Structure 1
Amino acid sequence: MADLEEKTDRYEAMLAAALSDATIAVPLETPLGDVAAECEEMARSYLDDGRHFREQGDLVNALASFSYGYGWLDAGVRMGLFDVPDDSDLFTT
């Protein structure tokens, strides 16, 4: 079983890579575009929050933030709000 620090590192890297890979797939000037932009913003905010918690030495909340951020992005991919590379293993499609 992975220790907390290793798992936190892994989830931070996974969320950062997922944000880098995902692109909004719907027109931004539509209601779905607003939803996609909000999902992306939430994922980025959770990445920032997680990094803040890590700096404070709070690995539990850092891991939770990275996990929640990834969840927002992965849900957006499943709903078709984001395009991701075909060879990506970061998302459930």
Structure 2
Amino acid sequence: MTADLTEKTDRYENLLAEALAEAEVAVPPETPLGDAAGEFEEMARSYLEDGRHFRDDDDPVNALAAFSYGHAWLDAGARMGLFDVPEHGHLFTV
């Protein structure tokens, strides 16, 4: 089971990092929606950092949870139209 958890944690970290690299803010930055996009992106980046910290502390369960939560923030923002993201592929559910 440890190998499965390690593989899944690595996969979700890569998914979040790739999604962050691909997402581009799609709303004017000086608007309330621009503020929301910034907050969603900040949450995703924070969870990526948290997940890496948990993994470094040999806590793969919380690392996986953090990577998953981070991706959820970014994916939700994409669904709301805050981000331009690839429409095809494995990074987003839009």
TM-score of the pair, normalised by structure 2? 0.94
- Which runs of 5 or more structure 2 residues have no equivalent in the other structure? none
Count of residues paired in the alignment: 93
Query: Partner of 2:38: helix, strand, or coil?
Result: helix
Aligned to 1:92: 93
Aligned to 1:57: 58
Name the CA distance, whole Å, in 1 between partners of 2:81 and 2:9.
28
Identical pairs, percent: 72
Query: Partner of 1:68: helix, strand, or coil?
Result: helix
RMSD: 1.3
Task: Render the CA deviation track for 1:23-57: whole Å, top value 9, x for unaligned.
Answer: 00000100000000000000000000000000000
Give the ranges of 4+ consecutive aligned residues of structure 1 lying more than 4 Å apart after TM superposition.
Answer: none
Name the CA distance, whole Å, in 2 between partners of 1:88 and 1:40.
20
TM-score of the pair, normalised by structure 1? 0.95
**Which residue identity lines up with residue 74 of structure 1 in the other structure?**
D
Name the CA distance, whole Å, in 2 between partners of 1:89 and 1:10.
11
- Which runs of 5 or more structure 1 residues have no equivalent in the other structure? none
**Which residue identity lines up with residue 48 of structure 2 in the other structure?**
L
Name the CA distance, whole Å, in 2 between partners of 1:70 and 1:34.
19
